[in-house]
Amino acid sequence: MNRKRTIYLAHHDSASREVLEAILSTLGHQLSLVTDSGKELIERALATPADLLVASPMLSDMDGIEALIQIGNVNPTPSIIVARDDDLSQVERAMDDHVMAYLVEPVTAESLQPAIFLCEKRFNHLQSLEEKVASLEQKLSDRKQIELAKGIIMQVRKLDEPEAHRFLQNTARRTRRRLVEVAKQIVDGGNLLGIDELLTDNDIEAR
């Protein structure tokens, strides 16, 4: 929880920036960027990612939430919004995107440090879920390619479904490639050009 983090801070109000900078420094974190500019925050965060971003809803040159969203779309980073009471209507939009936590000013060390911990915990949880979804989507895509390839083999070689599947397995084993790679080559052939290089009678072992 007390790990030193590289933090980029963007706040439109100079007094609030000084307070936040002092608190974060006291907590042992490294403030590598302190600015009132959303454009500067985006440029730095994309060029050299930070461990954590802290921003106010409005910056001197743009919407602070939009700045965090733009960064998150390219390089997801744990982010905290520091808002005034009258800014809270914007926070709901922020929480639907890449912002992981928010604090209402005035901010104290006692409120900021737990917020950092919870922000990172939520960020890591969401990243894990996204990775699982991406893995499932890839598996579904691979399965679709395999089923399409089996359909082509069944049509071209007049095989039933189990025979076509064994044929794919035998071809993958013979060519030392993954099953889905062989399937994609067959499917990508489109008009079946080159398929006879893969579909040889000697590969059919269980007809």
Helical H segments across the chain, by residue range: 14-26, 38-47, 64-74, 88-95, 109-157, 161-175, 179-188
- What is the sign of the dihedral through the CA atoms of 14, 20, 24 and 30? negative
What whole-number percentage of the chain has pLDDT above 90? 39
Q: Which amino acid is at 78?
A: P
- What is the model's pLDDT at position 193? 42
Is residue 123 domain-resident? no
Is residue 121 domain-resident? no
Q: Please determine, for residue 18, whether its predicted confidence score (pLDDT) is greater than 70.
A: yes
Q: Which of the four pLDDT bands, split at 50, 70 and 90, describes residue 126?
A: confident
When pLDDT is averaged across residues 43-50 and rounded to a whole number, the result is 96
Cβ-proximal residues to 25 (8 Å cutoff; 6+ apart), any chain = 31
Of 62 and 159, which is predicted with more confidence? 62
Distance of CA 111 to the CA centre of its chain: 28
- What is the model's pLDDT at position 192? 45
- What is the model's pLDDT at position 119? 87
Cα–Cα distance for residue pair 48/71, rounded to 1 Å: 11
Q: Is 203 exposed, middle or buried (0-12, 13-18, 19+ CB in 10 A)?
A: middle
pLDDT tens-digit map of 167-206:
888 888 888 888 888 888 888 875 444 455 555 544 444 3
Read off the DSSP letter of residue 51.
S
- CATH code, 149: 1.10.10.10
Q: Which residue range forms the structural domain that includes residue 19? A: 6-107
- CATH code, 42: 3.40.50.2300
pLDDT tens-digit map of 129-157:
777 777 788 888 889 988 888 888 888 88
Count of structural domains within the chain: 2
Distance of CA 144 to the CA centre of its chain: 24
Q: Which of the four pLDDT bands, split at 50, 70 and 90, describes residue 123?
A: confident
Cβ-proximal residues to 82 (8 Å cutoff; 6+ apart), any chain = 11, 16, 20, 54, 55, 56, 102, 103, 105, 107
pLDDT tens-digit map of 57-103:
999 999 998 999 899 899 999 999 998 876 666 666 656 555 678 88
- What is the model's pLDDT at position 168? 87
Is residue 76 domain-resident? yes
> Contact, 69 vs 45, CB < 8 A?
no
